[in-house]
Homo-oligomer: A and B are copies of this chain.
Amino acid sequence: MSKTLVFGHKNPDTDTVTSAIVYAYLKQQLGVEAEAVRLGDLNNETKFALEKFDFEAPRFISTVVGEAKQVILVDHNEFQQSADGIEEVQITEVIDHHRVANFQTADPLYFRAEPVGCTATILNKLFKENNVEIPANIAGLMLSAIVSDTLLFKSPTCTEQDIKAGEELAAIAGVDVAEYGLAMLKAGADLSDKSLEDLLSLDAKGFDFGAYKAVVAQVNAVDIEDVLGRQAELEALLAKNVADNGLDLFFFVVTDILNNDSTAVAVGQVAEKAAASFGATIVDGRISLSGVVSRKKQIVPVLTEGLK
């Protein structure tokens, strides 16, 4: 029970899983008995990265209660995204790159959040500040996180610091960023084993746009026709979801990771209005979103403005 658990958010992605492994490693080097754990199943992209650099998946936990008295959060801080029972344990550290909200402690802690594209970019600084060398396989994990969160440095969330950290880590890991990064993104964008129902829930988030209740879901694809080839079936599924959940809009975005464009399928009473928010119209049931890859920076703000 004296062990400190290190974990990222629920519905784990590559940054969350690798940052838990990487920061647990750094804390161990500094004499802390730390163990990386995960709060959910690994996606295909993360599995690819762990295999490439020869790491096992962290142990799964469903709650922190009974597991540890002290925990470290990486890649998140909001309690509703964290482990069940998080209010029952002491959070000694947070390393994150998101907004701060729905977070509270009784005691002072080490809280390090920076407005960069990826948690691994902050971890890269922490190795330096603590004078701990980064092994090649750990650098590989950190590089994977940066590639994933920035879509190979192409997302508008990517900062100069992320690019610089990515270059440093690629050199330590001894991999070609463009080649490895694309292979990893493609592994994550391999949708062949996913049903349309899976795709809808893989990365769906609810939003209130003015008076309208909406869901914006996003999937990455190498070939968008892998998903949009089943458009009639997809639209029926979205319409059912809209009806079942009383939505005004289901905005389903398929992002082409090779060309850095997106195509959306919108269903609901404000679907046309949603398209118009981007200065677009619905053509053959599709909305073309040229140059759009980031839900956080390029989709949600536009819908917030267009549907207010």
Name A residues whose Cβ lies closer than 8 Å to a Cβ of B: 97-115, 129, 296-297, 300-301, 304-305
- A100-B100, A100-B104, A104-B101 as given contacts; A111 in contact with B113, CB under 8 Å: yes
A222: min CB distance to chain B, Å: 28
Cβ contact within 8 Å between B110 and A301: no
Cβ contact within 8 Å between B99 and A109: yes
Q: Within the complex, which residue of B98, B110, B114, B301 is in contact with A115, where a contact is CB–CB below 8 Å? A: B110
Question: How many angstroms between the C-alpha atoms of A235 and B100 in the bound complex?
Answer: 39
Please give me the residue from chain B that is nearest to A103 by CB atom.
Answer: B100
Closest 5 CB pairs of A and B: A108-B115, A111-B113, A101-B104, A106-B304, A99-B105
Q: Within the complex, which residue of B104, B108, B113 is in contact with A108, where a contact is CB–CB below 8 Å? A: B113
Cβ contact within 8 Å between B113 and A109: yes
Question: How many angstroms between the C-alpha atoms of A300 and B104 in the bound complex?
Answer: 14
A301: min CB distance to chain B, Å: 5
Question: How many angstroms between the C-alpha atoms of A106 and B300 in the bound complex?
Answer: 8
Taking A100-B100, A100-B103, A111-B111 as given, write out 9 further A-B residue pairs in contact, using a Cβ cutoff of 8 Å, ordered by the A residue number: A98-B108, A101-B104, A102-B104, A106-B305, A109-B115, A111-B112, A111-B114, A112-B112, A112-B113
A sample of 30 cross-chain residue pairs with beta-carbon separation below 8 angstroms, ordered by A number, consists of A98-B108, A99-B104, A99-B106, A99-B107, A99-B108, A99-B109, A100-B100, A100-B103, A100-B104, A100-B109, A100-B111, A101-B105, A106-B300, A106-B301, A106-B304, A107-B115, A107-B297, A107-B301, A108-B113, A108-B115, A108-B296, A109-B113, A109-B115, A110-B113, A110-B114, A110-B115, A111-B113, A112-B112, A112-B113, A129-B129
Residues of B within 8 A of A98 (CB): 108
Question: How many angstroms between the C-alpha atoms of A300 and B305 in the bound complex?
Answer: 40
Residues of B within 8 A of A97 (CB): 108
A95: min CB distance to chain B, Å: 11
Question: How many angstroms between the C-alpha atoms of A305 and B105 in the bound complex?
Answer: 11
Question: How many angstroms between the C-alpha atoms of A97 and B109 in the bound complex?
Answer: 8
A192: min CB distance to chain B, Å: 33
Question: How many angstroms between the C-alpha atoms of A265 and B89 in the bound complex?
Answer: 31
Please give me the residue from chain B that is nearest to A110 by CB atom.
Answer: B114
Please give me the residue from chain B that is nearest to A97 by CB atom.
Answer: B108
Residues of B within 8 A of A99 (CB): 104-109
Residues of B within 8 A of A108 (CB): 97-99, 113-115, 296-297
A104: min CB distance to chain B, Å: 4
Question: How many angstroms between the C-alpha atoms of A235 and B304 in the bound complex?
Answer: 51
A93: min CB distance to chain B, Å: 9
Please give me the residue from chain B that is nearest to A305 by CB atom.
Answer: B106
Most buried by B among A111, A296, A305: A111
Residues of B within 8 A of A296 (CB): 108
Question: How many angstroms between the C-alpha atoms of A106 and B209 in the bound complex?
Answer: 10
Residues of B within 8 A of A107 (CB): 99, 115, 297, 301
Question: How many angstroms between the C-alpha atoms of A106 and B104 in the bound complex?
Answer: 16
